[in-house]
Structure 1
Amino acid sequence: MTAAALDVPIDIDVIRETIHTDGIIGCPGAFSRAWVEQLREDVEAAFAEAQSREGGAVGRGPNRYYVEIHPEALRGFVDLVDHPWVRATCETVLGPDYQIVEVGFDIPFAGAKNQPWHRDFPAPRETLEEGRLTSLAFNVTCVDTEEDMGPFEIAPGTHWDEGEEFDHGMFPPKNEYSRFEERAVRKYPRMGDISARSALTVHRGTRNESATSRPVLVLGVDAPGAGNDEKHDLAVTRAYWEGLPQRVRDHLDCPIVEELTPITQKHTIEGLVMGEA
């Protein structure tokens, strides 16, 4: 474990039960604040680069953007994916052969509006028929989240909703919003905290009424065969690959290239572009 990754309690039974029941779990104080400050520098540099070209950043609502990046854009990538709590959570929920499929970040700027309630993609057969989760999204805040900064809001337990009436399997009808609002929990993570959630748990970003952006790193991880890698374009250079620990290589099944190509975002979620009506 590097100096950036702090020692935190790990209880696999708590991880398994909490994600199964709530669809989300947090780990306070997983990283040093200095590590997060470096992370924010890298995120802001990646956002500036993405904004400079067509297709580099995708809208997820007014004044809200998502950018997918390659692992090499983050100086702390290995610290993140090799953190003992991250590894334990992946192995507990997804099995020992989990695969890292996505690295990116979401930034709601000042003026970002409430998103509609949604899940990130339709529930797969394994979840609907077998009661098995096949993906996780880890989030790392780059700031101390305050009430007026548009905190993340989630409806615990909704990862088991079949979603047959959801538009595109992702957006519940507005006449069901009260059910999610009754369950809704807002999250106020601090720098150094990390969370893991099922992308099926119904959630939304809320209105950012502050003058401050709230960048959040996203790490997407799949169980074998989940197929979410098809929505993403991770790649690493050969030199970077050769410098990775074998324990990280084992979970990074992506092209190894001589030169990286900037990512054009493929995972556009059309229902989020306009924000909540």
Structure 2
Amino acid sequence: MVQTIPTAHFTTDNLDQLAADLNRDGICILRGLLDQKLIQGWAAAFEQLFQQRQQQPGGLAPREQARYYLTLPWVAPFADAAVFANPVILAVLDRVFAQEYHLVQLGADVPVQGSQYQEIHRDFRPLFSDQIVTPLYALAVNFPLVEVTAENGPFQMARGTHVLSRQAGLAKIQSGEIPIESFYLQPGDVMIRSPLALHRGSPNRTNQPRPMIVMGYAMHWLHTPKVELTLPHDYYSCLPKPTRELLRCQVVEQLPFQQIETYINFKY
């Protein structure tokens, strides 16, 4: 069973259990971690950003039918160290990453009405081959800006498949030995998962988008050419040194006015 904790107060034992779940299952959920007012602020800003990007050529990356990805600009409310450097999230990551790691991605996955089931896939290749178990060298930290229900496109994953070969994992899913599970989330919940676990997006059957924030963390040696962070110099220079060291980013004097999305090929 996926470990969940009903409050935002996490003890050392809680964190140890969440890390153990993440290592074993490829996923854990931190219930109620983020403040509701914070989520409401992100949701309002995201709705405006998404509408703006829809009108901009190249502003959204298509991820199959009626499903989009967009990189979030490094501006308020998205540029928030209380989120990307949240001490509870980092405490879990510290327990599972064997070396230093960086935040390399801040974006959103958005299925809208008309989206379909994705092909079951991984977001990363194994380090060497399917015959050698890959350690947790990259993790996705997700949190929704709306309630995730059975109707609006819940994330679906087969637990434990991050340590199996793709072929073995698919065979166990097909036979029913390992089920594909839907993960329902409330605003404020945070999901940490291995991108090597076999998973898919499901259809959003409602008339409202279902934005899921994606923060990608990876060990310091991993090359991540498909995602990038761009920070304004004024913001970056004011961060404490440990926070600056967490970020793998390009620092510019001024953020670009328009963002062209290129993150499309993501499935393995």
TM-score normalised by the chain length of structure 2: 0.86
Say if 2:8 and 2:31, in contact at 8 Å, map to a contact too. no
Q: Of 188, 208, 218, which residue of structure 2 is paired with 1:192?
A: 188
Distance 1:38 1:224, change over 3 A: same
Partner of 1:159: 162
Counterpart of 2:261, as a letter, is: Q
Separation in 1, partners of 2:219, 2:130: 12
Separation in 1, partners of 2:188, 2:11: 15
Say if 1:46 and 1:73, in contact at 8 Å, map to a contact too. no
Distance 1:247 1:126, change over 3 A: farther
Distance 1:270 1:90, change over 3 A: closer
Please list every run of 5 or more consecutive structure 1 residues that lacks an aligned counterpart in the other structure: 167-171, 273-277
Counterpart of 1:8, as a letter, is: F
Partner of 1:238: 233
Shift of 1:81: 1.6
Shift of 1:48: 2.6
Distance 1:132 1:177, change over 3 A: closer
CA offsets, 1:18-37, max 9 Å, x none?
11111010000001211111
Separation in 2, partners of 1:191, 1:237: 28
Distance 1:65 1:243, change over 3 A: same
Shift of 1:102: 0.3
Partner of 1:257: 252
CA offsets, 1:224-263, max 9 Å, x none?
11212x2112111110112223332120121211011244
Say if 1:15 and 1:92, in contact at 8 Å, map to a contact too. no
Which sits farther off after the overlay, 177-186 or 253-262? Answer: 177-186
Secondary structure of the structure 2 residue equivalent to 1:231: coil
Larger relative helix fraction: 1
Q: Of 121, 134, 138, which residue of structure 2 is paired with 1:135?
A: 138
Please list every run of 5 or more consecutive structure 2 residues that lacks an aligned counterpart in the other structure: 1-6
Separation in 1, partners of 2:176, 2:209: 26
Distance 1:127 1:50, change over 3 A: farther
How many pairs are equivalent?
A: 260
Tell me how large the CA RMSD over aligned residues is: 2.7
Shift of 1:195: 0.7
The runs of at least 4 consecutive aligned structure 1 residues that moved more than 4 Å come to 179-182
Separation in 2, partners of 1:16, 1:271: 25
Identity of aligned residues (%): 26
TM-score normalised by the chain length of structure 1: 0.84
Partner of 2:16: 13
Partner of 2:4: none
1:57 aligns to 2:53 (yes or no) = no
Separation in 2, partners of 1:126, 1:9: 37
